[in-house]
Amino acid sequence: MAENPDKILNPEFGFKYTDLFDTHKLKDLHSAFLSYFEKADNEKYNEFKRYADSGGEGFTSLDISKTLIDSAPFLSSFIGKLFRIEAQLDKLFYETKYENDVLVFKKDFVQKEIWKKYKSAEPGNFDWDALSSFVNTLKEIAYNDYDFNKDEEKYTAKFVLELAELEKNYRWFYEGDKFAPENFEIPAKIKSRAEEIISSLKSKNLLTDAPDLDNLREILQQVKDWLFVKFFKDKNTKKWVSYFDPKKTDYDHLVEYSSPSPDIMDNPEDHFRQRDGFKLNDFPRTERQLLNQVDYCMYCHEREKDSCSKGLTDRMGTLQTNPLGNKLHGCPLEEKISEAHILRKEGLPLAAFSLIMIDNPMCPGTGHRICNFCMKGCIFQTL
Ligand code: SF4
């Protein structure tokens, strides 16, 4: 049975569902939001009010972005309370935070320590069995509380990031580093954790009596080799966003195809999709894959370079054209894509959505990817 519409809204605000279709009541609802915002954060509210009252007069585009990014979370929480969807918003928030280890691991470790440094390495030159055995022992003795069966990528990210942190602290202390604070000391918690891991591995004859920094380096080296070879050996990692390695767009080879005979071009089998009416036939993205794209963004509005929204120009301000002759003018509606990405990354999808709706109020109706001018205009001309 359909839900009684009058039960959808939180009665605390004094609105009925039918009020949402009444322009006068919508004005009252807007005032209710403003009072909510004012009570929640007076400073941010005043800035928003100054912007709204001036119609943006005297605000730079950066000021506007900042004001909107600061305000949107309050709209999100207001809507969450009004529609009683706070639990769902909280769930999305915590799901986003859960993915953080994987995204940090991808950016700070896999991209810098694996893809850059193993560029010319050959997976066949490593002893995969020995590496796997070392890492399995390490996991058993130091990370047996991590549920690798449930989410191997997440817990791999966590343990590798911890090892990198231990090694960094020892390196800063023994060798110094431009980022190390003056008179840096290894925190007691880090020291005891490092000593625990080193002594357990020594007891299994997997490390020598070398200094602790050397042993930490040795552990990390084995883990790096293992991560590099794992990408080629373990087909499950094909789904890992940690190994995401974008490729430059090749305009002469935009689509993968095979030619079973000279007059036939065929889609690769794993890309084949049946068209069923007007239904979307994209492969559904996981939360992690979606956040990977958001994380890849450079939030260019901060440098006024968000070409996805404003168009890709050269230094003289001339609009660029791609090799297919498409003008890279970015989003025809100038949606606030970069700003929305910042909020989505923070785990606030409704706040992000509200920024998109400023320029594209019909977004809920038009849905996903009605055009791809933003993708074409992005600073990353990648696939
Ligand atoms: S141009 Fe690309 S990287 Fe820059 S803000 Fe837009 S989507 Fe993000």
- Number of independent structural domains in the chain: 3
Report the pLDDT value the prediction gives residue 368, as an integer from 0 to 100: 64
d(CA 107, CA 102): 9
Q: CA 297, 365, 5 angle in degrees (round to 5)? A: 115
Report the pLDDT value the prediction gives residue 2, as an integer from 0 to 100: 57
d(CA 378, CA 359): 18
d(CA 341, CA 290): 11
Q: What are φ and ψ of residue 169, in 5° steps?
A: -60, -45
d(CA 327, CA 310): 12
DSSP state for residue 112 in the 8-state scheme: I
Distance in Å, CA 290 to ligand 1 centroid? 15
Closest Cα to atom 2, ligand 1: which residue?
A: 378
Report which residue type is found at 198.
I
Task: Note the pLDDT tens digit of each residue in 329-381.
Answer: 999 999 999 999 999 999 999 999 999 999 999 887 776 667 889 999 999 87
Residues 304 and 367 occupy one common structural domain:
yes
Three-class SS state of 48: helix
Residues 24 and 117 occupy one common structural domain:
no
Distance in Å, CA 328 to ligand 1 centroid? 13
Residues 239 and 103 occupy one common structural domain:
yes
Q: In whole angstroms, how far apart are CA 195 and each of 181, 190, 201, 212?
A: 22, 9, 10, 8
Residues 120 and 237 occupy one common structural domain:
yes
Among the candidates 243, 261, 292, a domain finishes at 243
Q: Which residue among 62, 292, 299 has the greatest number of ligand 1 atoms within 8 angstroms of its CB, and so is best to mutate?
A: 299
Q: CA 22, 65, 374 angle in degrees (round to 5)? A: 90
Task: Note the pLDDT tens digit of each residue in 212-267.
Answer: 999 999 999 999 999 999 999 999 999 999 999 888 888 888 888 888 888 888 88
Distance in Å, CA 338 to ligand 1 centroid? 6
Q: Which residue among 296, 298, 304, 313 has the greatest number of ligand 1 atoms within 8 angstroms of its CB, and so is best to mutate?
A: 298
Residues 139 and 204 occupy one common structural domain:
yes
Whether 382 maps to a domain, the answer reads: no
Distance in Å, CA 22 to ligand 1 centroid? 37
All residue ranges of the chain with pLDDT < 50 are 1
Point out the ligand 1 atom lying closest to the alpha carbon of residue 309.
Answer: 6
Report the pLDDT value the prediction gives residue 1, as an integer from 0 to 100: 47
Report the pLDDT value the prediction gives residue 276, as an integer from 0 to 100: 80
Residues 50 and 120 occupy one common structural domain:
no
Whether 289 maps to a domain, the answer reads: yes
Task: Say how many Å lie between the first and final Cα of the chain, rounded.
Answer: 45
Domain that holds residue 25: 5-84
d(CA 296, CA 59): 28
Q: Compute the Cα dihedral for 250, 255, 259, 260 and give only its sign.
A: positive
Q: Which among 233, 226, 34 is positioned nearest to 138, based on CA atoms?
A: 226
Task: Report whether 78 contacts 37 (CB < 8 A).
Answer: yes
d(CA 87, CA 225): 42
Report the pLDDT value the prediction gives residue 69, as an integer from 0 to 100: 98
Q: Using a 6 Å cutoff on CB, does residue 297 contact ligand 1?
A: yes
Distance in Å, CA 57 to ligand 1 centroid? 26
Q: In whole angstroms, how far apart are CA 132 and each of 121, 213, 222, 231, 234?
A: 18, 22, 9, 13, 11
